Chain A
Amino acid sequence: MIRIENLTKEFGAKRAVDSLSFTVERGEVVGFLGPNGAGKSTTMRMITGFIPPTSGRVLVGDHDVVQDPIAAKRLIGYLPENAASYPDMTVLGFLNFAAALRGLTGDAKKKAVHRAVEMCSLDRVLYQSIDTLSKGYRHRTCLAQSLVHDPAVLVLDEPTDGLDPNQKHEVRKLIRELGRTKAVVFSTHILEEVDAACSRAIIIDRGRIVANGNPEELRALAPNAGAVTLQLGAADAEQAEQRLAGIPGVARVERSGERITVYPSEKRASGELARAVAELAGREGWALAALRTEEGHLDEVFRSITLPDTHGSQAKPSGGAA
């Protein structure tokens, strides 16, 4: 549904988005991750036709967003970064306005607004002026606006930003459900949302894609993914360190107190290294207190392949991962 080809955006000399290419199909929820200033919002603004790309193109459905903006925009529901809405309107007035601009009239409009109101649990505040709403409600009002025409494509810029944990949970659940029938892209810098809502995640850094895959694939990129951690009695730990290093295919061994981590020289099928370690422990008669194969944490992946906030700074020397 969304097809992005070599998408680039320059602001003056600064390249905010640097030849991105990816696609999102119906039934997918793609998490768009990256540190602040990575270019997430800029990319989304180009997908939704708010700003034109410097080069490259975006197809939504079969419509080029620059050549045929109206047709492309009809297919998209968009929640902008700040979730802005007209403060002087009531929730119902605002949703009616959005529905009307989406070409809905009469009964169809009423039904569509009602559906969006239910999905976002707004029935209690329908007649309230938006500027009197709490942040959570304001956010959901804007979210409802993006759903009112039941779009095939949803672009959500930080949809859980500023919500409390319960609201975050609700929104993630909603995104997961919507993702069954729609093509959804949402940006976030909260890594747990990848597991909570995404079928795939794309990590970008300084405008470039540095990782693209499902959560398991991404986790495998963690520096310690596939390593085996074991915990031994104090007496055994010291000599075990050297013995473990002797296992074929082990790159290095790290010990801190009684906890030892064994890194394989190449990431292999899970369990293999753990079995070898357990066998050795059995033969040596170590008092094994714990043994575990590391899955890798997303935040470690994130930290190892992106650089800290790049806001306002000039290009930094490139880190190994890009």
Chain B
Amino acid sequence: MSAGNSPTWIIARRELGSYFSSPVAYVFLVIFLLLTGFFSFAQGGFFDRGEASLVAFFAWHPWLFLLLVPAIGMRLWAEERRAGTLELLLTMPVTTWQAIIGKFLASWIFLAVALLLTFPAVITVNLLGSPDNGVIATGYLGSLLLAGAYLAVTCLTSAMTRNQVVSFILAIVILMFLILAGFGPVTELVSRWAGPTVVNAVAAFSVMTHFDGFQRGVIDLRDLLYFLSVIGFALFANGLVIRNLRAG
């Protein structure tokens, strides 16, 4: 069987199809583009910076994704559980991992499309000045990995309930921890009563710490590993949740 006919891709294609067959996907894309535009150009002081870069644009992604990625992923398992199609899917000749990866990939591809659609921002800065396009490229890579990590966490919370709203809120709560552990104001607070070792250890778990490097044009292996292990760990936990569900 070729890759295009593997169960993973068949499942991913169905998920993607269901994104684009409903208006929700288009509404999401429009909202995403409007918000990125608004935050980076109006709030981020894009034009006041006097430099041609997308720093302001990327800096908002951890916060924007905090709401948007759970909104995209909350349905993945919760809806299958609610509608009873989970039973149908998992009695097909597919493994749980194929289903998990297929669903994750579909939503990640959708988020990648959303990111790609921000290309006018790249064109704009290139017209206005001469930005370092290498830094912009690593910035996009960082954003894609960030979205993947958020998405994997959302897959996990989506499997934990049959209610999409609950999975949405759970995802946001977990992601808040992942953000705040390395968020400047919080690390400062922690450093008042804990030594730098503790502060650094806590911050090492944060997406912020590992997101920064990409924005400076640095691809650090540790940052890459961090995002990939968040994805791996969350999807693994997703598998455990599904297994528990089936065991009754």
B91 touches A87 (CB 8 A): no
- Please tell me if B43 contacts chain A, counting CB pairs below 8 Å: no
The 25 sampled A-B contact pairs (Cβ below 8 Å) are A9-B248, A11-B248, A50-B246, A51-B246, A51-B248, A69-B95, A70-B94, A73-B91, A73-B93, A80-B88, A84-B83, A84-B85, A84-B87, A86-B14, A86-B83, A87-B83, A88-B21, A89-B14, A89-B18, A97-B10, A100-B5, A101-B93, A103-B5, A142-B88, A145-B88
Q: With a CB–CB cut-off of 8 A, which chain A residues contact B189?
A: none
Across-interface contacts of A93 in B (CB, < 8 A): 17
By CB atoms of chain A within 10 A, which of B10, B17, B21, B88 has the most?
A: B88
Mark contacts of B59-83 with chain A using CB atoms, 8 A cut-off: 1 yes-contact digit, 0 otherwise.
Answer: 0000000000000000000000001
Q: Is the CB of B91 within 8 A of A78?
A: yes
Q: Which residues of A contact B10 (CB under 8 A)?
A: 97, 100-101
Whether B85 lies near A101 (C-beta < 8 A) is no
Out of A11, A85, A103, A105, which one reaches B85, CB within 8 Å? A85
Residues of A near B247 (CB, < 8 A) are: 51-52
CA A100 to CA B95, docked complex, whole Å: 15
Q: Are B92 and A73 in contact (CB under 8 A)?
A: yes
Q: Does chain A have a CB within 8 A of B1?
A: yes
| A69-85 with Cβ < 8 A to chain B | 69-71, 73-74, 76, 78, 80-82, 84-85
Q: A82-B84, A88-B22, A93-B17 are in contact. Are A50 and B94 (CB under 8 A)?
A: no
Residues of B in contact (CB 8 Å), total 24
Return chain A residues, CB-CB under 8 Å to B83.
84, 86-87
**CB-contact partner of A101 in B17, B94, B248, under 8 A:** B94
Interface residue ranges of A92-132 to B (CB < 8 Å) = 93, 97-98, 100-103, 105
Chain B nearest CB: distance from A198 CB in Å?
Answer: 23
Docked CA distance A105–B1 (Å): 10
**Closest A-B pairs by Cβ, 6 of them:** A84-B84, A48-B91, A73-B93, A101-B92, A82-B84, A80-B87
Residue of B nearest to A73 (CB): B93
Q: Is B90 an interface residue (CB 8 A)?
A: yes
Q: Are B87 and A50 in contact (CB under 8 A)?
A: yes
Q: In the assembled complex, which residues on chain B have CB atoms less than 8 Å from the CB atom of A51? A: 246-248
Tell me if A169 is interfacial: C-beta within 8 Å of chain B: no
Give the CA-CA distance A95 to B91 in the complex, in Å.
15
Instruction: Tell me which residues across on chain B come within 8 A of A86, comparing CB atoms.
Output: 14, 18, 83, 85
* Residue A49 at the chain B interface, CB threshold 8 Å: yes
Instruction: Give every chain B residue within 8 A of A85 (Cβ-Cβ).
Output: 85, 88
Residues of B within 8 A of A (CB): 1, 5, 7, 10-11, 14, 17-18, 21-22, 83-85, 87-88, 90-95, 246-248
Residues of B with C-beta under 8 A to A52? 246-247
Partner of A105, one of B5, B7, B91, B95: B5
**Number of A residues, CB within 8 Å of B:** 34
| Distance of A98 Cα from B89 Cα, bound (Å) | 9
Contact assessment for A70 and B91 in the assembled complex, using a CB-CB cutoff below 8 Å? no
Chain A residues, CB < 8 A from B248 = 9, 11, 51
How far is A9 from B248 in the complex, measured between Cα atoms in Å?
9
CA distance A85 to B90 in the complex (A): 13
In whole angstroms, what is the CA distance A101 to B246 when docked?
A: 20
| Residues in B whose Cβ lies below 8 Å from that of A87 | 83
Instruction: A71 to B95: give the CA distance in the assembly, Å.
Output: 11
Beyond A50-B87, A50-B90, 9 additional pairs, beta carbon < 8 A:
A52-B247, A70-B93, A70-B95, A84-B88, A85-B85, A86-B83, A101-B10, A101-B94, A102-B92
Which A residues are in CB contact (< 8 Å) with B21? 88-89
Residues of B within 8 A of A49 (CB): 90-91
How many Å lie between the Cα of A103 and that of B9 in the bound state? 12
| Alpha-carbon distance A71/B92, docked complex (angstroms) | 10
CB distance from B20 to the nearest CB of A (A): 11
For residue A82, which residue of chain B has the nearest CB?
A: B84
- Interface core residue of A89, A98, A100 (most chain B CB under 10 Å): A100
Tell whether A50 pairs with B91 under 8 Å between CB atoms, given A88-B21, A97-B14: yes
B92:A45 contact, CB within 8 angstroms: no
Min Cβ gap A139→B in Å is 13
Give the distance to chain B from A51, nearest Cβ to Cβ, in Å. 5
- What is the minimal beta-carbon distance from B22 to any residue of chain A, in angstroms? 6
| Chain B residues, Cβ within 8 Å of A145 | 88
Smallest Cβ-Cβ distance to B87: which chain A residue? A80
Q: How far is the CB of B75 from chain A (nearest CB, A)?
A: 10
Which chain B residues lie closer than 8 Å to A74 at the CB level? 93
Beta-carbon contact of B14 and A102 below 8 Å: no
Contact of A80 among B84, B93, B95 (CB under 8 A): B84
Nearest to A105 among chain B residues (CB) is B5
Select one of B90, B92, B95, B246 contacting A98, CB under 8 A.
B92
Q: Knowing A11-B248, A100-B10, A101-B10 are in contact, say whether A78-B88 is a contact too (CB < 8 A).
A: yes
Smallest Cβ-Cβ distance to B84: which chain A residue: A84
